[in-house]
A and B are shown apart, each in its own frame.
Chain A
Amino acid sequence: QLQLQESGPGLVKPSETPTLTCTVSGGSISSGSYYWGWVRQPPGKALEWIGAIYYNGNTYYSPPLKSRFTISVDTSRNQFSLRLSSVTAADTAVYYCARQSGAFGYYFDFWGQGTLVTVSS
């Protein structure tokens, strides 16, 4: 069974540039056919898609967020990562990694449990 697990710093200060990592088990990122994405959810609010990456490094991002987020992949470790730049309190959220299925990674069929990132001084 495919499993995804996020890891990250938890508490960060404003203006810092934290990186979150998603470790995939029970399947290989390099197998192709899927995109691997990030979704966030501020406390009590709705889900927001951030972006996704293919095993070969191709990425695409939500246009409003594109300038502040970078997704990368390490196929040797079966991991992909999300780097946030110059965080503010508005970036406080649970960050989920997920597998995107469908022809071009349309919908999310496997999710990690999520990791809470709190931005506070």
Chain B
Amino acid sequence: DIQMTQSPSTLSASVGDRVTITCRASQSISNSLAWYQQKPGKAPKLLIYMASTLESGVPSRFSGSGSGTEFTLTISSLQPDDFATYYCQQYKYYKSFGQGTKVEIK
């Protein structure tokens, strides 16, 4: 199976900061990657699919890049509503998620 590893596990940042989260796959997954945002007690929300395609309604400050085994999610200017946990998910071979990156207030 394909293992997904996110870094960092926790990220402390301030409103307005540029934030980057990395996701690495244990083998090549082409661009078969999605990103989700999850807030406490809530279901995840799809942000990006196909590594870089923004889901409808998601603010343009979110962007995704990468292919093969290394991917990034970037928030260009962190907003108060963005403090949450972010997960990557591969769908090249079945489906698996990363362990999550918590973005907290610095």
Q: Which of B17-25, B70-78, B96-104 participates in binding chain A? A: B96-104
Contacts of A102 in B (CB 8 A): 49, 91
Closest residue of chain B to A112 (Cβ to Cβ) is B43
How many angstroms from the CA of A102 to the CA of B36 in the assembled complex? 15
Q: In this assembly, does A64 line the interface, its C-beta being within 8 Å of a C-beta of chain B?
A: yes
Q: A106-B49, A107-B46, A107-B91 are in contact. Are A64 and B1 (CB under 8 A)?
A: yes
Contacts of B34 in A (CB 8 A): 106-108
Q: In this assembly, does A86 line the interface, its C-beta being within 8 Å of a C-beta of chain B?
A: no
What's the nearest-Cβ distance from chain A to residue B6, in Å?
9
B87 touches A47 (CB 8 A): yes
Contacts of A64 in B (CB 8 A): 1
How many angstroms from the CA of A21 to the CA of B70 in the assembled complex? 36
Interface string of A104-119 (1 = CB under 8 A from B): 0011110111100000
Q: In this assembly, does A63 line the interface, its C-beta being within 8 Å of a C-beta of chain B?
A: yes
Q: A102-B49, A106-B34 are in contact. Are A63 and B43 (CB under 8 A)?
A: no
Contacts of B42 in A (CB 8 A): 113
Chain A residues near B (Cβ < 8 Å): 46-49, 60, 62-64, 96, 98, 101-102, 106-109, 111-114
